[in-house]
Structure 1
């Protein structure tokens, strides 16, 4: 075969693969495709805050402990939001 025939065959094969891949993407649930980058980042930052609170000295009049509780509550809410989006196709 000539180089032109090989090139044409490769282009047609590549186009076929692209069409097949895009069709498969339609079958993947939206929740599986939707990244939760900002929510995941929020969880990491909250975990870092919680770690810092746990390392802080305890002489804060109970405010450190209360702050840790609130951070844990915030982490639970962020995770609930991620779970909700996963179940309802949110992104």
Structure 2
């Protein structure tokens, strides 16, 4: 396996974890979770961006992979914000 293949698999696994966490959080019916529409939309849009990066041709000098890592980092931060709001009663 190449380093790129391992990197792609790692990115997909991380994205799956973030999405699973987001899906589980969406099932919570607390008032704090009810007002997370913009954060949920941001998470979906970031997932779309990640999917587009994965479909892009690989000849980008490593920038495509770095962009995907940054998108996953952003997804993690958005999820952390959703979780924080849920724990602290924020909307």
* TM, length-normalised to structure 1: 0.65
SS of the counterpart of 1:77? helix
Gaps of at least 5 residues in structure 2 are 1-28
The answer on 1:31 being equivalent to 2:46 is: no
The answer on 1:55 being equivalent to 2:70 is: no
1:45 alignment partner in structure 2: 45
2:67 alignment partner in structure 1: 67
How many equivalent pairs are there?
63
* TM, length-normalised to structure 2: 0.65
1:18 alignment partner in structure 2: none
Runs of at least 4 residues of structure 1 off by over 6 A?
A: none
Report the aligned-residue RMSD: 1.5
1:1-60 CA distances to partner (integer Å, 9 max, x unpaired)? xxxxxxxxxxxxxxxxxxxxxxxxxxx95425x320000000000000000000000000
The answer on 1:87 being equivalent to 2:87 is: yes
